[in-house]
Amino acid sequence: MQNEISDYRPGAIGRVAELHATYYHRHWGFGLFFEAKVATELAEFLRRFEKERDGFWTIRHEDRVAGAIAIDGFKAATDGAHLRWFIVSPEMHGKGLGRRLMTEAVSFCDRQAYRRIFLWTFAGLDAARHLYETFGFRLVSQQEGEQWGTRVTEQRFERDRDRT
CA dihedral over 91, 97, 98, 101, signed as positive or negative? negative
pLDDT at 1: 45
User: pTM of the prediction?
Assistant: 0.92
Q: Which of 33, 29, 89 is nearest to 58 (CA)?
A: 89
pLDDT tens track, the chain, 164 positions: 456 556 777 889 999 999 999 999 999 999 999 999 999 999 999 999 999 999 999 998 888 899 999 999 999 999 999 999 999 999 898 888 999 999 999 999 999 999 999 999 999 999 899 999 999 999 999 999 888 888 899 999 999 987 55
Q: Which of 102, 82, 98 is nearest to 90 (CA)?
A: 98
CA dihedral over 77, 155, 35, 135, signed as positive or negative? positive
Q: What is the DSSP-derived secondary structure letter of residue 157?
A: E
* Domain 5-115: which CATH number of 3.40.50.2000, 3.40.718.10, 3.40.50.300, 3.40.630.30: 3.40.630.30
Cα 2 to Cα 73, 85, 97, 110, 122, distances in angstroms: 29, 21, 11, 27, 31
Residue ranges of domains in the chain: 5-115
